[in-house]
Amino acid sequence: MMYGTQRVLNGVNLDVERGQIIGYIGPNGAGKSTTVKIMLGLVQGYRGQVEIFGEDIASGDVAYKRRIGYVPEQADLYENLTAMEYLLFTGELYGLDRKNAEEKAQKLMAEFELSDVLHSRISSFSKGMKQKVLIISSLLHDPDLLFFDEPLSGLDANSMMIIREMLAQLAEQGKTIFYSSHIMDVVEKISNRIVLLVNGEVVADGSFEELQKMSEKGSLSDIFNQLTGFTDHANRAERILAIVEGGEVGE
């Protein structure tokens, strides 16, 4: 995949089974969002083949999109809409009839303790409240494949627990989840497969236990540091602070 003359993905080859929770990780700019956007049909001009539910997504049949849920990293919420208007809008986009979408939206908002603001404009919501609306909108149509990009961002500890439990139950039901995040301890716990992307290439792909065998034992965060060749966080922090303080910067 090229953006202009910049090569962003370099032969990413993945076979994904139903029911997998794939922790999709990598340094900033590695190409995670780009891969997800290609699979969602949001980016054209890639080389190679992407099959979802057994069909090539380039075939022109976009029916597969109705079976996908997406929580984007950057929330493009229509802030002037109320939560209910937004959920009805996305629900109908995904092919739900209005009554069904309305009923589900109402119940799901209640489960996330947002009944009071069902008819308030999203622009008045806190970050976590917006995130909950995004999560609800990704689930409203009961998708088979979910792409979650930093889904816990802004959520309080209780809500995080609900989402984590929900992901595990969805996978048990045979749904497939791509979970992109930089919070390594969560990825380590919820994923049954971890794919590490560096500079547009898959450098590790396996269970946490398998990844541990590829490196010195440790947490996923340690493995991430090792496999991305990053060892100098203390020096880096020191240099940053030296610059901030405006003093002499060491070698």
By the criterion CB under 6 A, which residues form the site for ligand ATP? 3, 8, 26, 28-34, 73
Q: Whose Cβ is closer to ligand ATP: residue 24's or residue 94's? A: 24
CA distance 132 to 156: 10
Shortest reach from residue 251's CB to ligand ATP, in Å: 29
Task: Kindly give, in sequence order, each residue whose CB lies less than 8 Å from that of residue 76, ignoring residues fewer than 6 positions away.
Answer: none
> What is the end-to-end Cα distance of the chain in Å, rounded?
37
CA distance 238 to 234: 6
According to DSSP, the residues that pair with 22 across neighbouring strands are 178, 193
Residue 102 tokens read as 């309305």
Half-sphere exposure in the Cβ direction for 173 (13 Å, CA): 13
Q: Whose Cβ is closer to ligand ATP: residue 31's or residue 91's? A: 31
Q: Whose Cβ is closer to ligand ATP: residue 84's or residue 204's? A: 204
Shortest reach from residue 4's CB to ligand ATP, in Å: 6
The torsion angles phi and psi of 106, rounded to 5 degrees, stand at -60, -45
Shortest reach from residue 53's CB to ligand ATP, in Å: 23
Shortest reach from residue 228's CB to ligand ATP, in Å: 12
Q: Whose Cβ is closer to ligand ATP: residue 32's or residue 65's? A: 32
